[in-house]
Amino acid sequence: MNKKVIMQKAMEQAKISFGKDEIPVGCAIWLDNEIISLGRNKSIELGPTRHAEIEAIEKAYKVSKNLRDAVIFVTMEPCIMCFYAIKKSGIKNIYFSTYNDKEGFSNYLDSGDIFYQSGILEEESKELLKRFFEGKR
Active site residues: 53
Q: Does residue 43 contact residue 22 with C-beta atoms inside 8 Å? A: yes
Compute the chain's Rg from CA coordinates: 14
- How far apart, in whole angstroms, are the C-alpha atoms of residue 108 and residue 9? 28
Q: Does residue 27 contact residue 14 with C-beta atoms inside 8 Å? A: no
Write out the H or E segment, with its range, that includes residue 43: helix 43-46
